Amino acid sequence: MKVNRGILEIVVTTSGQVAEDLVKVRWGKLSKVPFSVTRRKIDLMEAELKAPGREIAYMVKAHKAFHR
């Protein structure tokens, strides 16, 4: 649920910031938006690596992939 909320938050805030910055022509701030999105994705990947039970989730996924 946190992942879905985080993605929605990124989309809504980023598009709002882009629209506002285009109107006000704040190109410096606008140029930071792609880096902000990338930083959020990296934070999400780090959280997934540290998530409890990730090893078991991998085993279940691998079992499903090899036993079709």
Give the pLDDT of the chain (68 residues) as one tens digit per residue.
Answer: 455 667 777 777 888 788 877 777 666 776 777 888 888 888 888 888 888 887 887 788 888 888 86
How would DSSP label each residue in 2-67? HHHHHHHHHHHHHHHHHHHHHHHT-HHHHTTHHHHHHHHHHHHHHHHHH-TTHHHHHHHHHHHHH-
User: 34: which 2 tokens?
Assistant: 């792609």
